[in-house]
Chain A
Amino acid sequence: MVWVNAVIQGVLIGGLYALFACGLSLMFGVMKVVNLAHGDLAVLAGYIAIGVIAVTHVPVLWSFVIVVPVMAVLGYVVQRTMIQGALDRSVLTTLMVMLGLSFVIENGLLQFFTANTRGIGTGLSLLTASFSIGSQIQIAYLLVVIFATAVVVLLGLQYFLSRSKYGRLIRAVADDREAAQLAGADYRHVFGIAAAIAFATVALGGIAYGMYSQIYPTAGTDTILLFAFAAVVIGGLGSLWGTLLGGVVLGVAQQIGAQISISDEALAGFIVFLAVLVLRPQGLISRRAQS
């Protein structure tokens, strides 16, 4: 029964990992940017939420309504200025710029918020509660809500990418930037929109993480970015639902590892990540197979 519990917990936590991963996958798929600052952006969003709640005293859930759009706008602006300038030079420059952004965010957060861990209290009794199945399986409502959010976000993203004008343009630019320009599309603007989506989704992930666990300034690189990378690689690059599958597989591997020994939690996840990378480098769901 403890194993069943581990699997259930792992699946649910996989939703959080999918929120971390889908933006990373989108930015790489569309503009070939490896966003090394992706995890830090999640943490930044978490701290902004803490700040917003402290200053405005809005209910915690309302902080999403403020922070997510703010992060989306930030994504567009950072893409159009910093990242686009780097992309116009070289892939290596882009990597360095993302790394620089990561350092700046982490050290900025250290400066303003200290290295202390912070949690985001949900303030809702329902979300701190859990329900039991049998005697050994206990499921937190918060995790269920996070998983459901991830599914809704992925459904929304899929609908946006497949049905809307800008979704089509994002796919077109990812396929052939030059041909899209010939059709009148300014790919820089399209890149900006893709970055806005990536920043918004990872902001959701960051706030959710702050509610589920705790955040601290370096959590972005030592936890979130690594899990996001692992989820993307396991699931398959460029596949939306692959990030959910990747997140779930990572989550289940971690929970089973933790069941064996609590110190094996992270190790088990990364062993699966490495195994997929070696045995099935295209990921469990490859982009070709999906389309």
Chain B
Amino acid sequence: MTGPRNGGRAEPGTPLLEVRDLTVHHGQLRALDAISLQVFPGEVYAIIGANGAGKSTLLRTIAGLHHPSAGSVWFDGADVTGLRPERRAGQGIVMVPEGRRLFESLSVEENLQVGAAYARPGPWTIERVYETFGWLRERRRQPTAQLSGGEQQTVAIGRALVANPRVLLLDELSLGLAPVVVQRIYGMLPEILATGLTVLLVEQDVSQALRVASHIQCLLEGRTTLEGRPADVTADQVEAAYFGLAGAAPARQPGEGSEP
């Protein structure tokens, strides 16, 4: 059942995560306007866009932290729109929130233990996280406040992984981190994907997103302005979609031409 909104992709089977015509309001402001997307198993799906485009709102609504005013979120063929965040986490939708949001009075290991408290069965354990990110083991007794931003981000990712998510939501991993640190964190992605996860990420750093994603969707003021595989979109298209330049307003499908 491949829907009409899969951006021309030829993925077989049903999407793992699907968002249908999602509209979210923050008070009077319409943060998302009828957004749809389909994420297929094993994909790295990147939402890009400028500040205020609605990227984080979209991710937080998928995680259950915002209630949509219209539309629905489907996970593994079931409507999860009415489920609380903790129930969605239990089903395998786990988010690394923007700004890391570690438990500051807990040690590194305790943060991971909280992440594992309601874990689904799966490949990720606290031990596996220590094996993957070697330096964490020596620092497991430290309060997280003593870690650098990049280290904190790694703990936040580890805390999400030990829950054994089926789809991992990553909200602005690069925020406030040095480029070299961002590179290193995104460098972990292949190893994470190898354990069978699907990733939906939000990223302001477009070049980073284009490098890691198998599919991108660009938002502008709550609407989709571009969607496709990174290989099929040109830099000009992305720039136009990102900044909302003239001629970019209708969503372009890949292969439609690339005149500015």
Contact = CB atoms under 8 A, between A and B. Distances in A.
B120 to A, nearest CB: 9
Contacts of A222: none
A183 B159 contact: yes
A182 B63 contact: yes
B163 A184 contact: yes
Contact of B97 (A175, A182, A185): A182
A88 B50 CA distance: 33
A172 B106 contact: yes
A180 interface: yes
Interface in A185-205: 185-187
A184 B106 contact: no
A213 B245 CA distance: 78
Contacts of B86: 181-187
Most chain B beta-carbon neighbours within 10 Å: one of A165, A182, A185: A182
Main secondary structure of the interface of A (DSSP, over half): helix
B102 interface: yes
B233 to A, nearest CB: 31
B10 interface: no
Interface of B: 63-65, 84-86, 89-90, 94-95, 97, 101-106, 110-111, 113-115, 117-119, 143, 159-160, 163
Contacts of B97: 178-179, 182
B104 A185 contact: no
Contact of B163 (A175, A179, A183): A183
Contacts of B114: 168-169, 172, 180, 183, 185
* 7 A-B pairs with least C-beta separation: A184-B118, A184-B89, A181-B85, A179-B101, A175-B103, A172-B103, A172-B114
A236 to B, nearest CB: 14
A181 B114 CA distance: 10
B23 to A, nearest CB: 22
Given A183-B118, A185-B118, A178 B101 contact: yes
Contacts of B90: 184
Contacts of A171: 103, 105-106, 110
A291 B143 contact: yes
12 contacts: A168-B106, A171-B103, A171-B110, A175-B104, A179-B101, A179-B103, A181-B86, A181-B89, A183-B163, A184-B90, A184-B94, A186-B84
B84 A168 contact: no
B85 A168 contact: no
